[in-house]
Structure 1
Amino acid sequence: MSVEHFTSSGASTWFQRLDQQIFLADVVDQNSGAAMSVGFGRYRRGEKNPWKVTYDEALVITSGAFTVEGPSGSVTARAGEVIYLWADTEVVYVADEDTELVYVTYPHWLATTEASAEAHRLDDFHEAE
């Protein structure tokens, strides 16, 4: 396909982190034939997720306010703004408000994480009910 359209309501499988109100859904992944991953994230206000980014990532905030705490300080974005994360950065994702965002990663975040020393972090996620 040369052009596709996605909405968060059309995402087929959502994954939840532990018992937190953090949900992620890929809409473009390593099985799609694309060179990057694209997905949606939903974070309830106050939720935090420590992570090591093993890929480049752009977070496009579509609603709410979201902070990424990194080694050089914190960056906060609101709806219509973007946070860019460089590969090999230890971060904490923080929802300052109920937030929905779009993530874009290169290369594919899941395959890159699975092949890294950070693979154990994936154990925190399960398919949402």
Structure 2
Amino acid sequence: MAAVERFASKTTTSWFQRLDQQVFLGDVVDQTSGAEMSVGFGRYGKGERNPWKVTYDEALIVTKGSFTVEGPEGPVTAGVGEVIYLRADTEVLYVANEETELVYVTYPHWLRATENSAEAARLDEFHEA
């Protein structure tokens, strides 16, 4: 991995889909990159919902549409150019209010953190798209 890189969602080579939903995630920086964090792109169809327990810190940057994260203190909604921050060990529900694209940044790597948690079985909901 180079010291400085640029990524675009259209160049993401490996997308994962949640069940048969219009929920797609594609890492561009993962645990194999040598970095301490994950970076990727998400695409959600309008109305799609994804329950999850975040076992890592995460920032979601909305680049298209409107996205809500329902957490213990209630819903938080962001539009284009806005960021939602999630703390580790929080049960959430991701909700796409309209067709949405976003960038996610996690620390540490979301996949490794999930694999090593009580939430590991939730990974079975995803398959290569």
Q: TM-score range by the shorter chain?
A: over 0.9
Deviation of residue 125 (structure 1)?
Answer: 0.2
Backbone CA RMSD of aligned residues: 0.3
Match of 2:62 in 1: 61
SS at match of 2:31: coil
Provide, for residues 54-107 of structure 1, a one-character-per-residue CA deviation record: whole Å limited to 9, x for no partner: 000000000000000001100000000000000000000000010000000000
2:47 matched to 1:16? no
Match of 2:105 in 1: 104
Q: List runs of 5+ in structure 2 lacking aligned partners.
A: none
Match of 1:26 in 2: 27
Deviation of residue 6 (structure 1)?
Answer: 0.2
SS at match of 2:40: strand
User: d(CA) in 1 for partners of 2:39 and 2:92?
Assistant: 19
Equivalent residue runs for 1:108-123 within 5 Å: 108-123=109-124
User: d(CA) in 2 for partners of 1:79 and 1:64?
Assistant: 6
TM-score normalised by structure 2 residue count: 0.99
AA partner of residue 114 (structure 1):
E
Q: Please identify runs of 4+ aligned residues in structure 1 that moved more than 4 A.
A: none
Deviation of residue 26 (structure 1)?
Answer: 0.1
SS at match of 1:38: strand
SS at match of 1:120: helix
User: d(CA) in 1 for partners of 2:23 and 2:125?
Assistant: 11
Q: List runs of 5+ in structure 1 lacking aligned partners.
A: none
Matched pairs, number: 128
SS at match of 2:113: helix
Deviation of residue 2 (structure 1)?
Answer: 1.0
User: d(CA) in 1 for partners of 2:34 and 2:92?
Assistant: 28
Match of 2:7 in 1: 6
User: d(CA) in 2 for partners of 1:31 and 1:77?
Assistant: 30
Deviation of residue 8 (structure 1)?
Answer: 0.2
User: d(CA) in 2 for partners of 1:31 and 1:13?
Assistant: 14
Identity of aligned residues (%): 74
